[in-house]
């Protein structure tokens, strides 16, 4: 910021409404985890006093008015990194992945939006959340700072899918960039170890915050937004890894350092005033990958896809064992929307979708991919499991919510 900049008004907070599907009618207020702030920032400077001591165990003697002396024992042993189930330490994972992570600043004359991005090809294509770069749709400038750098670089918008909250930008004149590697989000289980990396609170571009946690739940459906801007996101990963404003668009990593989700939202305050704690949501990497072809075409993806009208989660062997389902793959229906195509053909909570058209359905992401590739009013075959019985029916697809 230059000396002749004026001091703007602090923009209003950006709340997000988060609603879980029935049978629970509870609701929560959360927020997008892009970081919106006026054109000023506080500087966070920790004060550290350090001494370098060589040798083995050393005694440091201090004196004060009340005691003769106090001896503090110190050691030259090196700290050890936390070890993930893969055997990789978190410091090793961060060293491997962080060069492909960027901090994102989208600036207008009055405010800036801060978030995180993941470099996915050597020519500088970066994935992030659509709400991070929303101002760029109206011409705001985008700059990115690669981890380890102190210099930002310009970037341009390639494509945005606001309904699914995913966007693609390109770093100008980039080449030979490090890239992230995607993992298998369809294979996640509750309890799997995860690590989040992102530009939390915008503390310092190029020096992301790292947090660790587990997969807390799978198949979450939330409606989130700010004012008139809302989107309903389905089949999200829930995690207790700490994510904060500025983490939007950053990776949720498995214990091998592979991207299995894009951090996008946090739960805030419940309807009864209770504060939610350690509840964050990430878009599965399989979903993000399925959106790339449309994003690469450029522009804003605004078309309404086909819609079945169900909230679903991926079936796993653990779920099958716990609830005595007869199959361990497919898309488990958790809610059937009133008046939807699914309700019209008699689908129920607990049914498992295993086929659509000629496509075999192994996960919730397979259903989303199928719907994205089809148009409303198309009539397709649908195969589902109810109990031990396989049922085949025809369904006329509806319109996705606008």
Q: Which residues are catalytic?
A: 131, 165, 248
- The SS3 assignment for 261 reads strand
Highest mean pLDDT among 24-28, 60-64, 156-160, 362-366: 156-160
Does the pLDDT of residue 64 top 60, yes or no? Answer: no
Mean pLDDT of the chain: 79
C-alpha to C-alpha distance for 215 and 144, rounded to whole angstroms: 29
Structural domain for 241, as ranges: 1-40+81-301
Residues 147 and 295 both lie in one domain: yes
CB 164 within 8 A of CB 284: no
- Residue linked to tokens 């990593």: 253
Q: Identify whether residues 272 and 389 lie together within a single domain.
A: no
Tell me 147's DSSP state: T
Q: Which residues of 290-327 are buried (b: 16+ CB within 10 A; e: fewer)?
A: bbbebbeeeeebeeebbbbbbbbbbbbeebbeeeebee
Helix, strand, coil percent values for the chain (each to nearest 5): 15, 40, 45
**Confidence class for position 351, pLDDT limits 50, 70, 90:** very high
Query: What tokens appear for 289 in the block?
Result: 């990958």
The pLDDT value recorded for residue 237 is: 94
pLDDT tens by residue, 2-37: 444 444 444 433 433 343 333 333 333 445 565 544
**What's the domain count of the chain?**
2
**Token pair for residue 81?**
């990194």
Task: Judge whether 57 lies within some domain.
Answer: no
With respect to residue 74, please indicate whether it lies within any of the assigned structural domains.
Answer: no
Q: Which among 251, 284, 301 is the end of a domain?
A: 301
Give, for 366, the enclosing helix (H) or strand (E): helix 364-372
Instruction: With H, G, I as helix, E, B as strand and everything else as coil, classify residue 342.
Output: helix
pLDDT of amino acid 294: 87
Helix, strand, or coil (residue 306): strand
pLDDT in tens, 167-184: 999 999 999 999 999 999
Taking the C-alpha atoms of residue 264 and residue 248, their distance in angstroms, rounded to an integer, is 5
Q: Are 102 and 152 in the same domain?
A: yes
285 plus 354 within the same structural domain? no
Looking at residue 176, its pLDDT comes to 93
Q: What percent of the chain has pLDDT over 70?
A: 77
In a domain, 53, yes or no: no
Q: Mutual orientation of helices 285-296 and 364-372 as an angle, nearest 10°?
A: 10
Nearest C-alpha neighbor of 251 from the set 106, 118, 401: 118
User: Are 287 and 170 members of one domain?
Assistant: yes
The CB-based long-range contact list for 338-344 (8 Å cut-off, 24+ gap) reads 339/309, 340/307, 340/308, 340/309, 340/310, 340/398, 341/307, 341/308, 341/309, 341/395, 341/396, 341/397, 341/398, 342/308, 342/309, 342/310, 342/395, 343/309, 344/395, 344/396
177-212 pLDDT tens trace: 999 999 999 899 999 999 999 888 777 777 888 999
Read off the pLDDT of each residue in 287-313 and give the average, rounded to a whole number.
Answer: 82
Report yes or no on 54 lying in a domain.
no
Same domain, yes or no: 151 and 211: yes
Q: CA 400 to CA 402: how far, in whole Å?
A: 6
Domain at 110, CATH number? 2.40.10.120
Distances (CA, A) of 356 to 6, 61, 347, 374, 400: 57, 75, 14, 11, 17
* Overall size of the chain counted in residues: 402
- Whether residue 341 lies inside any domain: the answer is yes
DSSP state of 385: E
Report the largest interatomic distance among the alpha carbons of the chain, rounded to a whole angstrom. 88
CB 35 within 8 A of CB 115: yes
- Contact between 128 and 249 (Cβ < 8 Å): yes
Query: Does 343 lie in the same domain as 199?
Result: no
- Asked if the structure places residue 116 within a domain, the reply is yes
260 and 322, same domain (yes or no): no
Pairing of strands 125-128, 70-74: unpaired
Tell me how far apart the alpha carbons of residues 377 and 236 are, in angstroms, rounded to a whole number. 27
261 close to 237: Cβ distance less than 8 angstroms: yes
Tell me the pLDDT tens digit for each residue of 106-139. 887 777 788 999 999 999 999 999 989 888 877 7
Residue 239 tokens, joined: 């995690």
CA proximity to 328, closest of 189, 146, 200: 189
Q: Are 233 and 378 part of one and the same domain? A: no
Round to whole Å and give the CA distance between 133 and 46.
31
| CATH number of the domain that residue 307 is part of | 2.30.42.10
CA distances from 402 to 88, 136, 219, 310 (A): 43, 21, 21, 16
Q: What percent of the chain has pLDDT over 90?
A: 40
**Domain C-terminal end among 245, 275, 301:** 301
Same domain, 292 and 326: no
Query: How high is the pLDDT of residue 47?
Result: 31
């Amino acid at each position: 910021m230059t000396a002749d900049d004026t001091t703007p008004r602090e923009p209003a907070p950006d709340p997000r409404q988060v609603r879980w599907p029935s049978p629970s009618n509870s609701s929560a207020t959360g927020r997008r985890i892009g970081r919106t702030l006026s054109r000023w920032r506080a500087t966070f400077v920790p004060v550290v006093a350090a001494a370098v001591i060589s040798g083995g165990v050393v005694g440091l003697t201090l004196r004060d008015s009340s005691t003769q002396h106090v001896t503090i024992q110190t050691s030259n042993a090196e700290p050890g990194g936390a070890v993930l189930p893969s055997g990789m330490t978190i410091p090793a994972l961060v060293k491997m992945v962080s060069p492909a992570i960027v901090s994102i600043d989208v600036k207008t004359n009055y405010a800036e939006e801060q978030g995180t991005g993941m470099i996915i090809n050597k020519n500088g294509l970066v994935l992030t959340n659509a709400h991070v770069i929303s101002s760029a749709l109206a011409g705001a400038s985008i700059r990115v700072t690669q981890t380890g750098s102190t210099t930002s670089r310009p970037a341009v918008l390639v494509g945005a899918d606001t309904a699914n909250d995913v966007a693609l930008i390109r770093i100008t004149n980039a080449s030979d960039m490090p890239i992230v590697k995607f993992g298998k989000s369809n294979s996640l289980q509750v309890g799997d170890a995860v690590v989040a990396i992102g530009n939390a609170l915008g503390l310092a571009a190029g020096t992301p915050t790292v947090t660790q946690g587990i997969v807390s739940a799978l198949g979450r459906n939330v409606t989130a937004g700010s004012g008139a801007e809302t989107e309903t996101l389905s089949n999200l990963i829930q995690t207790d890894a700490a994510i904060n404003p500025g983490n939007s668009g950053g990776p949720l990593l498995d214990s091998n350092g592979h991207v299995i989700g894009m951090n996008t939202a946090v739960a805030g305050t419940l309807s009864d005033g209770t504060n939610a704690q350690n509840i964050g949501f990430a878009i599965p990497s399989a979903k993000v990958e399925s959106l790339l072809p449309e994003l690469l075409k450029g522009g804003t993806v605004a078309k309404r896809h086909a819609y079945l009208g169900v909230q679903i989660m991926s079936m796993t062997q653990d779920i099958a064992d716990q609830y005595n389902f007869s199959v361990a793959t497919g898309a488990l229906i958790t809610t059937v929307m009133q008046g939807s195509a699914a309700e019209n053909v008699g689908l129920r909570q607990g049914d498992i979708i295993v086929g659509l058209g000629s496509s075999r359905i192994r996960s919730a992401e397979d259903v989303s991919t199928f719907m994205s590739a089809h148009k409303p009013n198309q009539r397709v075959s649908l195969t589902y499991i109810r109990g031990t019985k396989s049922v085949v029916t025809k369904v006329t697809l509806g319109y996705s919510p606008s």
